[in-house]
Structure 1
Amino acid sequence: MVPREIEQWTNRNYPKPQVDPEWLAQCYNYLVSELGIARNDITALTKNIESQLLQSDLHDSTLPQTGLPENPASLHAVNLPPFLLLQVVSIMEIGHSAFSLQNTRQAWIEKADLAGLAAREDDGEYSAGEFPRYPRGMLSLELSDGYNVIKAIEYRRLDGLKLGETPLGYKV
């Protein structure tokens, strides 16, 4: 059973969409039984629950119809509530031409072909510093609460979002 303090913390910090109580209980049990976190260590538990939530697919960890309205089209030109957890489903640069984006993509491919295995780091991935960055103007996004999807356009530059670097599922 999840302690009341953790339920209150979750509801206070992640009100929309609401965290699924069953998911929360499973997460809590995993942290206590598998990771050995003490049941009374609320700070460590909440930190780890938050980490698990932000890494999860919101469809798996939240309740339906507790985030975005059922008809997301009704949100046209409306400000969202102050705290609404959404995940990036799609990210696209709309401030630059497809031609310039394709040129950057081609440079990535050529760099990868030339670098071969020597350019790979310990984890098997290429480091971002070695490759050209995509031009950055304005991003178009599709965001989801795990059940509904809305389209959004960056009003002001969000430095945490970068084409080619920001993974899908990233939480905003």
Structure 2
Amino acid sequence: MPQASLPVTLANRAVRTQDAWLQACVAFVEGEDPSCRSNEQRTLERVYQQFLFVDLAESSRPVLPTNCSELHNAPLPAALVTHEVSDAILAHALVLQVEDVVDIGLPILQLVDRLEEIEVHRKALLLNVSDTARQVLAEGRPLPHARSARSDDDEDGGGEHDDEVAEDDAPSAMRQVLLDGIPGQPSRNMALPRGTLKWVLSDGYRRIPAMEYRPLRQLDITLPLGFK
């Protein structure tokens, strides 16, 4: 993808990268995947995935106004001046990252007690899963939720490998057991209690507080720091 068009294309996702980082990222993804040199969409997606995992201070330009900590009842984003894209594109969205998250709607001791309960249950599951996995693999049958190793040629007929356990399936199956529980044992709801979330958000240069005014059920206190 011509590098001159990448900033504009990324700006459609409200991503404003530093020129040096973008050039280095393109060189990296093309080195990892030479097909990117002739596939513009693949280059874009690979660069975007790299962006999601990098600190905004390393990859992006500042988008929050210098006086953001003094603003009150003011809409964001403020007008952004740039030569690559129009303000109209950037006026609708900002990409910020989570620096901190706390649930201000619940007593902290309630959260601590619940986290301790989940940790105890997790360790018990790990022990049970380990015993279950060893027993199942020793008997030569698939782990719960694991798919038998089958070739494409066996899709319609019973292949000779139907009853074999693919070694690569074992970790996935064990993770699934951790999510679903141990077969034959009652499942337990290990979800954290949910109140009102408050965040510290950053563009990599400046920070602002943020709080949900209605529940965002897709997010909780386990949100990883650095999440965009």
Residue in structure 2 matched with residue 33 of structure 1 by the alignment: 31
- Is 1:8 paired with 2:8? yes
Q: Does 1:139 align with 2:197?
A: yes
Distance 1:88 1:114 in 2: 32
AA in 2 matched with 1:93: D
Aligned counterpart, 1:105: 115
CA drift at 1:40:
3.3
CA–CA separation in structure 2 for the residues paired with 1:46 and 1:86: 20
Report what 2:47 is aligned to.
49
* Residue correspondences, number: 166
1:162 partnered with 2:220: yes
Matched, 1:73 2:69: yes
Report the Cα distance in structure 2 between the residues aligned to 1:129 and 1:75, rounded to whole angstroms. Answer: 46
How does the TM-score come out when normalised to structure 1?
0.82
Higher alpha-carbon Rg: 2
**What percentage of residue pairs aligned between the two structures are identical?**
28
Q: CA deviation at 1:13?
A: 2.8
Query: How far does residue 11 in structure 1 lie from its aligned partner after superposition?
Result: 3.2
Provide the residue aligned with 2:142 in structure 1.
none
Q: Point out where structure 2 has 5 or more consecutive residues left out of the alignment.
A: 78-91, 131-169, 182-188
Indicate conservation of the 8 Å contact 2:199/2:210, yes or no.
yes
Distance change (3 Å), C-alpha of 1:35 and 1:109:
same
Q: 2:171 corresponds to which letter in structure 1? A: D
CA gap of 1:7–1:128, structure 2 versus 1, over 3 A, is: same
Cα distance in 2 for residues equivalent to 1:35 and 1:2: 16
Q: Distance in 1 between matches of 2:180 and 2:106?
A: 21
The CA deviation at 1:99 is 2.5
Contact 2:101 2:198 in 1 (8 A): yes
Three-state SS of the structure 1 residue aligned to 2:34 is coil
List per-residue Cα deviations over 1:24-47 (Å, max 9, x = no partner).
Answer: 001111111222133231111111
d(CA) in 1 for partners of 2:193 and 2:121? 17
